[in-house]
A and B are shown apart, each in its own frame.
Chain A
Amino acid sequence: MNKESDMDWFTIQPNADGTHWKGKCWYVHELIKYEFDFQFDIPATYPDTAPEIEIPELDGKTAKMYRGGKICLTIHFKPLWSKNSPHFGVAHALCLGLAPWLAAEVPFMVESGVIKPKV
């Protein structure tokens, strides 16, 4: 549905036993599409704890990121996950965790010049 309206913003693939997921996500800012690879493991204490989504290529480019490219989910997502576990899942992590992060950070990073479009 999203794809038809060109509103889709990620592709994702799990490994054989569903413990490691990776894919691409993108965000359009000022008519330029910025695409990144992302990945995450399902933690051992899932569903009590949320997966930690990582964007390795952006590691170190913004303060809202922990070692290894783990995006900061503390404020906007983790409390939501705690309230709604166990029925939250990977889809929720992406839509409510990764998407807002991209929306907040990509414009900031572009504006401050740490990422540039590959023109």
Chain B
Amino acid sequence: MDSTGSVDPSLASVPSDESTLSIPSEGRQANKELELLARNIQALDTTLIQTNVARLSQQVAHITGALKSTLARVTGQGTAGGAGAGAAGVAAKSGPSPDGADVAEGAAAANLPDTAVATVAPLGPAPGGVTRAKVEKMSAEVVDSNPYSRLMALQRMGIVKDYERIRNKTVAVVGVGGVGSVAAEMLTRCGVGRLLIYDYDKVELANMNRLFFRPEHCGMTKTDAARKTLQEINPDVEVESYTMNITTLKGFEAFKSSLLGPDGKSRVDLILSCVDNYEARITINQVCLELQQNWMESGVSEDAVSGHIQTLIPGVTACFQCVPPLVVASGIDERTLKREGVCAASLPTTMGIVAGLLVQAALKYMLDFGSVSGYLGYNSLKDHFPTMEIKPSEACVNTLCRQLQREEEARRNSPEALEARAAAAAAAAAAAAAAAAVPLHEENEWGIEVVSQQDEYPSASPAATTVPPPTPAPTPSSTSVSDLTEHRPVEAAAAGGSSGPTTATLAAGVEFSMPTERGVDAMTLAAEGIGQVEATTEDLMQQLASLYAGGP
């Protein structure tokens, strides 16, 4: 549309040509609306032209969008390519060339894998009529129309090698709420290959204090709303959405089987847990142990001012049940927990930060750059980000976890592994020796000499004293345990009893407590327990029924 505000004549003519051919009445009606708007524009006061131009272009784009979808439905092909190019030009947003955009979108909708549970209904055109074309291969070309240019630039910055590997990655995001929806959006914008999203909840106005969902999504399931938005942001990502509750027995099986590939092993590279309750986390933990799947867990406290992320590798790091919740471990009487509040608080800021930390860790893990902490906390009141590694507990309640720990231990102590470590150490020593053998500088143009400090200043402290370098990750740094969700105590380096002195003083704010004895002892069990029952299930059911039937 040119600046004087008159409607582009080519646009007006395109629909009318086609309307006489094959479109049903909707096309003709749209055409009439178009002409009406054009007449309205010309009748307007010149001072209002600018605002009305913008409004008109939006309406036109909307109408042509509806036209496109009608055409696509009627003809079954993307023959609206021509009309689409003209119309999208009118909408006048600088973006990728929309030529063939509709063809690609139509084709994409038809090609989405038709899994039993995932919803793959073809989507309508984006609001505003502007769609992003699918991109076959990520290019590093620095042009305005390349959606991946800034990501591929990470390679030239020396941060990531082969960024395109992300197109081969599959990530499952369980829970598409405050943290999960933001994480899914971030992964989508990064161009991840495939995204599996799980949630059973619907979008409500109460969710509007957080990012991602908009009021127009209210009433839709979170998975549907997320899938629609994400697919529009980046059509190159394959989004599979599952609207289900994973904690029921059926849900557990469905969840587990949705993660399996044709070879019976997990087909995802990483699972991100963005759920808000203990039960779901335990479920994910169990599934990941059974599939030996690495996963990352995130959480935000109920008071919305702290959060954390964790990386869990079955057998190698603690599983989610290795460290019981604080209230259980320290034997605090739950009656002392008092809360007037009726619902958890949440802030978009904390959720966004935790989602950012989570996806950052996921990217580092998948693309192999930087270092991924076992645990990363966030205390917003003090701007404190503690990191630590949490070892698995040999007393974990989960038998599978204990078994995987033993297998990992055996693997680490196997002859091959020991040989490999010895070889690596030898290679490192050889490299160091080679480096030391070569002089640091070939020439000494200025005749610089290094003189020992002891000769010059005998009273000063000997140069041999070195300041101990700041200790990196393995030592647990201080953390405000009470702020974290589920109040997890830190088993500071002594969980397996395998490293560090047991009398080590802990950093400020870190608590250590072993779980109190659980369960009943044998005597009480024998005395009060029910023991084996001979009756069959039917008999028991009948007894139950007769209890009700027989009156007092």
Chain A residues engaging chain B, CB cutoff 8 angstroms: 3-4, 6, 11-14, 18-19, 41-45, 48-50, 52, 63-64, 67, 75-76, 78-80, 82-87
Question: How many Å lie between the Cα of A87 and that of B531 in the bound state?
Answer: 12
Contact B325 A67 (CB under 8 A): no
| 5 closest residue pairs by CB, A with B | A44-B252, A63-B342, A79-B334, A49-B279, A82-B328
Taking the nearest CB of chain A, how far is it from the CB of B44, in angstroms? 48
Q: A13-B544, A44-B283, A49-B278 are in contact. Are A75 and B248 (CB under 8 A)?
A: no
A82 cross-chain contacts in B, Cβ below 8 A: 324-325, 327-328
> In which size bucket is the chain B interface?
35 or more
Taking the nearest CB of chain B, how far is it from the CB of A56, in angstroms? 15
Question: How many Å lie between the Cα of A79 and that of B537 in the bound state?
Answer: 31
A87 cross-chain contacts in B, Cβ below 8 A: 519-520, 525
B201 cross-chain contacts in A, Cβ below 8 A: 67
Contact B328 A79 (CB under 8 A): yes
A45 cross-chain contacts in B, Cβ below 8 A: 247, 252, 279, 282-283, 286
A75 cross-chain contacts in B, Cβ below 8 A: 334, 337-339
Of residues 6 through 40 on chain B, the ones whose CB sits less than 8 Å from some CB of chain A are: none
**Chain B residue with the shortest CB-CB distance to A40:** B248
**Chain B residue with the shortest CB-CB distance to A6:** B552
Contact A3 B547 (CB under 8 A): yes
B541 cross-chain contacts in A, Cβ below 8 A: 14
Q: Tell whether B504 is near chain A: CB-to-CB under 8 Å.
A: no
Chain B residues engaging chain A, CB cutoff 8 angstroms: 201, 247-249, 251-253, 278-279, 282-283, 286, 321, 324-325, 327-328, 331-332, 334, 337-339, 342-343, 397, 516, 518-520, 525, 537, 541, 544-545, 547-548, 551-552
A50 cross-chain contacts in B, Cβ below 8 A: 279
Question: How many Å lie between the Cα of A6 and that of B551 in the bound state?
Answer: 10
**Chain A residue with the shortest CB-CB distance to B285:** A45
Q: Apart from A44-B251, A49-B279, list 8 A-B contacts with CB within 8 A.
A: A3-B547, A45-B247, A45-B279, A48-B282, A49-B247, A52-B279, A79-B328, A79-B332
Contact B286 A44 (CB under 8 A): yes
A78 cross-chain contacts in B, Cβ below 8 A: 278
**Chain A residue with the shortest CB-CB distance to B342:** A63
Taking the nearest CB of chain A, how far is it from the CB of B446, in angstroms? 70
Contact of B552 among A3, A52, A86 (CB under 8 A): A3
Question: How many Å lie between the Cα of A80 and that of B337 in the bound state?
Answer: 12
Taking the nearest CB of chain A, how far is it from the CB of B228, in angstroms? 21
Question: How many Å lie between the Cα of A79 and that of B337 in the bound state?
Answer: 10
Contact A84 B518 (CB under 8 A): yes
Contact of A43 among B248, B253, B321, B332 (CB under 8 A): B248
Taking the nearest CB of chain A, how far is it from the CB of B344, in angstroms? 10
Contact B334 A76 (CB under 8 A): yes
List 26 interface pairs A-B (beta carbons < 8 Å), by A numbering: A4-B552, A6-B552, A13-B545, A18-B537, A43-B247, A43-B279, A43-B283, A44-B247, A44-B249, A44-B252, A44-B283, A44-B286, A45-B282, A45-B286, A48-B397, A49-B282, A50-B279, A64-B342, A75-B337, A78-B278, A79-B337, A82-B327, A84-B518, A86-B519, A87-B519, A87-B520
**Chain B residue with the shortest CB-CB distance to A41:** B248
Taking the nearest CB of chain A, how far is it from the CB of B372, in angstroms? 27
Taking the nearest CB of chain A, how far is it from the CB of B141, in angstroms? 47
**Chain A residue with the shortest CB-CB distance to B331:** A83
**Chain A residue with the shortest CB-CB distance to B251:** A44
**Chain A residue with the shortest CB-CB distance to B541:** A14
**Chain B residue with the shortest CB-CB distance to A89:** B530
Question: How many Å lie between the Cα of A41 and that of B245 in the bound state?
Answer: 11
**Chain B residue with the shortest CB-CB distance to A84:** B518
Contact B518 A83 (CB under 8 A): yes
A86 cross-chain contacts in B, Cβ below 8 A: 519
Question: How many Å lie between the Cα of A21 and that of B119 in the bound state?
Answer: 30
Question: How many Å lie between the Cα of A112 and that of B355 in the bound state?
Answer: 39
Question: How many Å lie between the Cα of A62 and that of B337 in the bound state?
Answer: 21
A41 cross-chain contacts in B, Cβ below 8 A: 248-249
Contact A83 B278 (CB under 8 A): no
